[in-house]
Amino acid sequence: MDLMKWMVRAHEENTKWQSSFPPFSPHPSMEVGDDAFAAAFHDLTERLGKNYPFFHPSYAGHMVRPPHFAATIGYLAAMLINPNNHAFDGGPATVEMEKEVVAQLSGMFGFQTPLGHLTTSGTIANLEALYVARELRPGQGVAFSEDAHFTHNRMCRVLGVESHAVRADRRGRIDVEALEKLLRTQQIGTVVLTAGTTGLGAVDPIHEVLALRERYDIRIHVDAAYGGFFTLLTGSDTAEALPPEPWQAISRCDSVVVDPHKHGLQPYGCGAVLFNDPDVDRFYAHDSPYTYCAPDEFNPGETSLECSRAGAAAAALWLTFQVLPPTPSGLGRVLGAGRRAALEWSARIASSGILELYQEPELDIVTYFPVVRPASMRLVDRTSAAMLESGATEADPVFLSTLKVRSDALVSRHPGITADASEARIIRSALMKPEFEDFIPHLHDRVEALAVSHTELR
């Protein structure tokens, strides 16, 4: 797609729309000379050049990638107007778009009534779900796996709710037996399950925990900030298909969070929280003397904790979903390629004598470490960190990220490794771009060569 053409078109359409109103003179205080601007712009682009190449498949580190073309154009076109999705009068067009994308996201998870809204982030989306949980289960605690995102522990502190970390099993999933033991104490009102942990991409057995609801009166919130869109890979018989049980179970949970700014190809500033019970909007009830002038319209600010939110974020997601809907044949194809890349790479690592898989990837996050002699945690840690550092400076660079793992977690998966430290860094690659599918053979060779260069130094 021709980004330049559509950026110009977005600007043209905005100008055309503006000129449908009576003319007025711009104020001189806002004027900036072209030379002054050129100098400042030069400095900006020079500084931006210090970024890692998130767009490139040699960047196989954190969960970062540029937005899809459609998201960029959608964001730009709306941002030139800068609507505020706090209330209908702040952004009458983008509030409608938000309603539509929320319905699409709800449909993706099989929620019957789409109550929910976009948020600025997964953090805020989870905070909202935990806030509603606290209102419905006053005085009761929240349980989540020790591998859950750190935000849950933090937000429980913000909300004044007691939190309980439950042991994770050898695949990084919540240990259901340990959870049930905790539920027997009657202290827990809400269980947070993760569909795609941030570290390993592990999917908690949501269906198994859901079955516990017959015996224990608990709310279940699913944090699918990272993994949510992978639900599109269930229900096919392809190599990259995922076991459907945990994903199908989400439809019967109480709330779910998904981050379109992770796997929904959006720029940052786009999370979403969805509720299964539409009556929870009563917990947001408040009156405002200065907003909500359109009492009969949908005002997202009446059902969200945040006030101002970018209408442009809704427009970006809306335009993206017009061309790549959250369906198996739309966005599912993008995620499928990343998943196939993860399968292909993990197979190569599994048969490599130079690298070792930390565990089989469940989604598109591959975790591994260099094979070192003697096989000790300290050496794994040092070599992984050195690979990360030198990989970025090579002529044909590779950009990786590390993951800190505890000795019990590492040794339970790899009993041959000596636990001479309490934790070690291993390597973690989130394969968030479909382009990885073709790039894996090269990436694998480069990472193997990096590992060899560091083990030979000793």
Ligand X SMILES: *Cc1c(COP(=O)(O)O)cnc(C)c1O
Footprint of ligand X (CB under 6 A): 121-123, 126, 149, 151, 194, 198, 223, 225-226, 259, 271
> In one letter, which amino acid is 251?
S
Conformational region of residue 265, where left means phi above 0, alpha means psi within -120 to 50, and beta covers everything else: left
Q: Which residue, 142, 244, 235, is CA-closest to 193? A: 142
Q: Which is nearer to ligand X, 123 or 299 (CB)?
A: 123
> Cβ of residue 120: shortest distance to ligand X, in angstroms?
8
Q: Which is nearer to ligand X, 143 or 225 (CB)?
A: 225
> Cβ of residue 226: shortest distance to ligand X, in angstroms?
3
**CA dist list (Å): 225 to 3, 87, 218, 422:** 28, 25, 21, 29
Q: Which is nearer to ligand X, 195 or 447 (CB)?
A: 195
Q: Which is nearer to ligand X, 223 or 306 (CB)?
A: 223
Q: Output Rg (C-alpha) for the chain, integer angstroms.
A: 24
Which residue in the shown chain puts its C-beta closest to ligand X? 122
> Cβ of residue 149: shortest distance to ligand X, in angstroms?
3
Q: Which is nearer to ligand X, 355 or 405 (CB)?
A: 405
Q: Which is nearer to ligand X, 149 or 382 (CB)?
A: 149
How, if at all, do strands 188-194 and 355-359 pair? Answer: unpaired
Cα(7)–Cα(3) distance, integer angstroms: 6
Q: Which residue, 392, 355, 359, is CA-closest to 199? A: 359
> Cβ of residue 431: shortest distance to ligand X, in angstroms?
15
Instruction: Specify whether the CB–CB gap between 357 and 363 falls below 8 A.
Output: no
Count CB atoms within 10 A of the CB of residue 263.
28
> Cβ of residue 62: shortest distance to ligand X, in angstroms?
10
Q: Which is nearer to ligand X, 144 or 369 (CB)?
A: 144
Instruction: Specify whether the CB–CB gap between 337 and 330 falls below 8 A.
Output: no
Is the Cα torsion angle 401, 407, 409, 412 positive or negative in sign?
positive
Is the Cα torsion angle 262, 266, 269, 272 positive or negative in sign?
negative
Q: Which is nearer to ligand X, 271 or 338 (CB)?
A: 271
Q: Which is nearer to ligand X, 66 or 397 (CB)?
A: 66
> Cβ of residue 438: shortest distance to ligand X, in angstroms?
26
Which residue shows structure tokens 């929240």? 142
> Cβ of residue 199: shortest distance to ligand X, in angstroms?
9
> Cβ of residue 367: shortest distance to ligand X, in angstroms?
15
Q: Which is nearer to ligand X, 223 or 362 (CB)?
A: 223
Q: Which is nearer to ligand X, 259 or 362 (CB)?
A: 259
Tokens of 444: 């694998």
> Cβ of residue 71: shortest distance to ligand X, in angstroms?
15
**CA dist list (Å): 114 to 101, 168, 223:** 10, 32, 17
**CA dist list (Å): 452 to 43, 149, 190, 349, 394:** 39, 33, 47, 14, 14
> Cβ of residue 82: shortest distance to ligand X, in angstroms?
22
Q: What share of the chain is helix, strand, coil (3-state, %, to 5)?
A: 45, 15, 40
Question: What stretches of 83-181 adopt beta strand conformation (E)?
Answer: 115-119, 141-145, 163-166
What strands, in cross-sheet order, belong to the sheet with 401-406?
A: 355-359, 365-370, 423-430, 401-406
> Cβ of residue 66: shortest distance to ligand X, in angstroms?
16
